Amino acid sequence: MAIRTSLLMSVRRFAAGIDVSEQEVRLVVLSQRLRASGPARIEYLAAVPLAASAMAGVEIVDRGAVTRALREAFADLPRACAAGALHCAMALPASAISMSSLPLARFAAPGEASATGGSVSPGLEAAVLSEAERVTGIERHALAVDWFVDASPCRAGSIAIATAGRQYLEARIECAAAAGVSLSAIDGEPHAALRAMRYAAALELEPHEPYAAIWIGADGVYGWRIAEASVDGEMHYPAPEHTDLADALRDLAECGPIGCVLLGGELGLLDGVGFSVADFGDVLGCSVLPFECASLGDCASPLSAELLREPACAVAFGLALRGVME
C-alpha cells in the first residue's frame, strides 16, 4: 500500500479548497495528473454545518466550533489524498479585502518600459504599502498585502493591490492548524468562485462564446462578463450606482452580448433581494447554467449527489483548482 500511495503521489497533484461560510464549512479535494492537460478529478466533497453564533460577518467568533467543523470535514478524507503534501487553500469574504491600484509606469526604471517587462524601481514595495494604508486607514504592520500586474483590458498597465486585516488571515490559519490542516494559500471568495466558473465554462460552453459568471455570497452578488478568455466587465450589488440587482445586471450587459450565464454561490440568498434564478436569464436575455461539480470531471469514488450539484461549492472548488494548477 505504501508503494502504491507513493507512486500515486508522484503522478498526481492533490489540492483542497476550504470555504468557511456563515452556514457551514465546505471542502472540495481535486487531483490533477502532472504534466497533463485533462480535467481535474474530484476526489472528495464534504460539508459540515456551523452554528449561527460561530461566525459574524468576516469574524470567526467561535474558533473552537470552526476547528471542530474542519476536523469533521477532513475526517473521512481518502488515504490517497491525505498522503504526502496536500495543498490547502481557504478563502476570505470580499468585505474583508480592499482593492486598489497604482499606475505601473510610475515605477519603471529609467529607460525601461515596465508594462512590457522592464525592471521595476525599488520604491514599488514602499508605494504599495503606503497605498494599502491609505485605502484601509490601518497601519501596515496590521495588514496583509498582495499585489500583481493587472493585465485585464480595462486596467492594463496598473498594479492591482489586495489588502486585508492581518487578524482575519491569522484567525483562519490558526483554526486550520488546530484541526491539523496546513494552509498554503488564502484567496478572496469572489476570485475563487470566478476561477471555478471559468473552468466550468471552458468545459461546458462553446469556444469563444461570451458569457457572464455570477456569484452570490453573503457580501452580495458579483458578476463578470468574459469574452475571448478575458474579463471585460464586472459588477457588484449592492452598490451605490445601482438601484437594484436588475440594474446592475443591465450595466454588465452593456459591455457586449452574453450567450449564457453561469450561476454559483448560495442561491437561497436571492430571496432577500426579491430575485430568482430565472430572473437572471430574463434580464440578460440568455440561458442560465447553475454551477455543478458533477459536470466538471470524473469522481474518484462515489460522492454525495447533493454536493456534486450544489452551486455553493464554487468557492471551495475554485480554491482547490488553484492548488492543482499551480
119 and 266 together in one domain: no
Q: Is 203 exposed, middle or buried (0-12, 13-18, 19+ CB in 10 A)?
A: exposed
Query: CB pairs under 8 A, 24+ apart, for 178-184?
Result: 178/63, 178/67, 179/67, 179/68, 179/70, 179/71, 179/74, 180/71, 180/74, 181/16, 181/18, 181/70, 181/74, 181/88, 182/88, 183/18, 183/88, 183/89, 183/90, 184/87, 184/88, 184/89, 184/323
Type of residue numbered 264:
G
Largest CA distance in the chain: 61
- pLDDT tens, per residue, the chain with 326 residues: 444 444 444 578 899 999 999 999 999 999 988 766 678 999 999 999 999 899 998 999 999 999 999 999 999 998 888 755 789 999 999 999 988 888 877 765 544 444 434 445 667 888 888 888 988 888 988 888 888 777 665 566 788 888 899 999 999 999 999 999 999 999 999 999 999 999 999 999 998 899 999 999 999 999 999 998 889 899 999 999 999 999 999 999 998 999 999 999 999 999 888 899 999 999 999 999 999 999 898 887 789 999 999 999 999 999 999 999 87
Task: Please check whether residue 200 lies inside any domain of the structure.
Answer: no
111 and 248 together in one domain: no
11 and 85 together in one domain: yes
24 and 146 together in one domain: no
Determine contact, residues 311/301, Cβ cutoff 8 Å.
Answer: no
**Radius of gyration of the chain measured on its C-alpha atoms:** 20
87 and 34 together in one domain: yes
Task: Please check whether residue 198 lies inside any domain of the structure.
Answer: no
Q: What is the CATH number of the domain that holds 103?
A: 3.30.1490
Domain count across the chain? 3
Closest CA to 215 of 321, 311, 297: 311
Q: What are the counts of helices (DSSP H) followed by strands (DSSP E) for the chain?
A: 10, 15
Per DSSP, the three-state class of 46 is: strand
Residue with cell 452551486: 311
303 and 159 together in one domain: no
pLDDT value at position 127?
85
Task: Please check whether residue 196 lies inside any domain of the structure.
Answer: no
Task: Please check whether residue 311 lies inside any domain of the structure.
Answer: yes
The cell for 289 is 447554467
155 and 225 together in one domain: no
Q: What is the CATH number of the domain that holds 283?
A: 3.30.420.40
87 and 184 together in one domain: yes
pLDDT value at position 245?
96
Element (H, E) at 176: helix 166-178
Element (H, E) at 279: helix 277-284
pLDDT value at position 180?
94
Task: Please check whether residue 245 lies inside any domain of the structure.
Answer: yes
178 and 317 together in one domain: yes
pLDDT value at position 35?
67
pTM score: 0.88
d(CA 241, CA 251): 10
Task: Please check whether residue 255 lies inside any domain of the structure.
Answer: yes
186 and 51 together in one domain: yes
CA 194, 197, 202, 206 dihedral sign is: negative
Determine contact, residues 92/47, Cβ cutoff 8 Å.
Answer: no
Task: Please check whether residue 32 lies inside any domain of the structure.
Answer: yes
pLDDT value at position 307?
95
151 and 40 together in one domain: no
Task: Please check whether residue 48 lies inside any domain of the structure.
Answer: yes
- Domain range for 159: 95-165
pLDDT value at position 252?
94
61 and 132 together in one domain: no
